[in-house]
Amino acid sequence: MPPALLLAIFYLTRDAGSVRSFLAHAGQIDIVIPAWYTADAYGVVTGVPDQHLLEAARQHGVKVMPLIVNPDFHQPTVHALLTTPEARTRVAQSLLEECRRQQYYGIQFDFENIPAADRDALTALVRDTSTLLRRDGFRLSVATMYQTSAERPASPGYAQWLWDNWLGAYDLAELAKHAEFVSVMTYDHHTERTPPGPIAGYPWVEQIVNHCLTLIPKERFSLGIPLYGRRWYAGTARREGSQATATVHYHEAAGLAAQYQVTPTWDDRDRAPGFWFYRDGLREYVFYNDARSFRERYSLAQSYGLHSFSSWVLGAEDPAVWKELPPARR
């Protein structure tokens, strides 16, 4: 029996490289999720679509489902929005009107850095917005942080901080009841607050999938696959308790490897490439993603019969990724 075909979902920014990638590969994309909108503490939605990209998507038959976020993932903003019923209603109504104007397929919520205590309020926003959009034939999807357990970690420190501020607000089982699909972001495994390591180590991703499938039906589960990488370097950290890091795209990682004359190595356990080098006498690390690491995670999603994959972000990818994908289903 041939492996299941997955819907191909890609995120798009206004960056020129991201736009070029979309225009070059729209025929292999089922749903595009452009980062066009934000919502403030009062539920006021701000953003303007790119009409050129909208027209290109229509010509290629790509469904458009724009992203709406809390600006800079600012926690006080999203807390005020979620805990004020009038603000939640304003967001939902504004998105319905924008869907009508632009004739989108739907909208995706990507609210992050949410206090775990606001869990029920987030679910209420998703439920009410989905109900409103569906009346007019539009769809709502939700991007969520990953979870490997439904319980708050017992050990204090980083794990509890992460749960209280980033992971615990998502009631995956309830969100899946109201969302067209749930894009589970299986990234970042390692961050500026951890030692250097892969963006999405394979055993870690599989652990997330197995846990989330106890909460999300596979028909509504979209596996988040990162296309970018990260560099840990000698520099000044952005905030207390963090390290100096930078996001790197595939071509940037390849450029660093060439500049410092190092050969990236493939980690058989984490199924991802990486390398290190010395700059000014100090060791720096780069972990990134290429076509091979993409294929491993794409195959994982296929093996579980998931709804789709959702990849952040167009323009960051190894060009060979497109050789792994069939034409989009229309």
> Tens digits of per-residue pLDDT, 1-32?
556 689 999 999 999 999 999 999 999 999 99
How far out from the chain centre does Cα 52 lie?
24
**Residue 273 structure tokens:** 């490439």
How far out from the chain centre does Cα 31 lie?
14
Residue 129: its H or E element: helix 119-135
**pLDDT score, position 241:** 85
Q: What does the alpha-carbon distance between residue 22 and residue 213 come to, in Å, rounded to a whole number?
A: 30
pLDDT band at 141 (very low <50, low <70, confident <90, very high): very high
Assess whether pLDDT exceeds 90 at residue 155: no
Tell me what the mean pLDDT of segment 214-230 comes to. 98
Degrees, nearest 5: CA angle 172-94-131: 45
Least confident of 86-95, 177-186, 228-237: 228-237
pLDDT band at 330 (very low <50, low <70, confident <90, very high): confident
**pLDDT score, position 2:** 56
**pLDDT score, position 5:** 80
Whole-Å CA distances, 330 to 10, 29, 30, 308: 16, 10, 7, 14
**pLDDT score, position 3:** 64
Assess whether pLDDT exceeds 90 at residue 248: yes
pLDDT band at 311 (very low <50, low <70, confident <90, very high): very high
Average pLDDT of the chain is 97
Tell me what the mean pLDDT of segment 30-55 comes to. 98
What DSSP character marks residue 281? T
**pLDDT score, position 4:** 67
Phi-psi group of 167: left, alpha or beta (phi > 0 → left; psi -120 to 50 → alpha; rest → beta): alpha
Are the C-beta atoms of 39 and 6 separated by less than 8 Å? Answer: no
Orientation of helix 85-102 relative to helix 75-82, angle to 10°: 100
